[in-house]
Amino acid sequence: MPDVLMLACVVMAATLVVGLVPMVRSTSSVERMLTAQLLGTNGVGLILLLAQILDMPALVDVALVLALLAVIAVVAFTRRSGGSERA
């Protein structure tokens, strides 16, 4: 069982790195922000897996905080782009 979790962990980390390609190469801020959110979701999953593998329940709290705060950045971002159009 731990092996399966570990494998899932590596696969998720690999998708995270693949997800970085549009992040690094894209020229559009919106695309980058969306990719950052995707990475956020990926990261939350990865931390939850690590919490199981390393047997550290405290990491679940880390995932909780990440999931809650990832929203703030995207809302601040959308507001910023809306504000620039109006200004």
To other proteins, the closest distance from the beta carbon of 6 in angstroms equals 4
- Dihedral of alpha carbons 46, 50, 53, 59, sign: negative
Determine the Cα–Cα distance for residues 41 and 37; give it in Å rounded to an integer.
Answer: 6
Binding site for other proteins (CB under 8 A): 2-3, 6-7, 9-10, 13-14, 16-17, 20, 23-24, 27, 29, 32-33, 35-36, 39-40, 43, 46-47, 50-51, 54, 56-59, 61-62, 64-66, 68-73, 75-80, 82-84, 86
To other proteins, the closest distance from the beta carbon of 78 in angstroms equals 6
- What one-letter code names the amino acid at 69? L
| Token duo for residue 41 | 């979701």
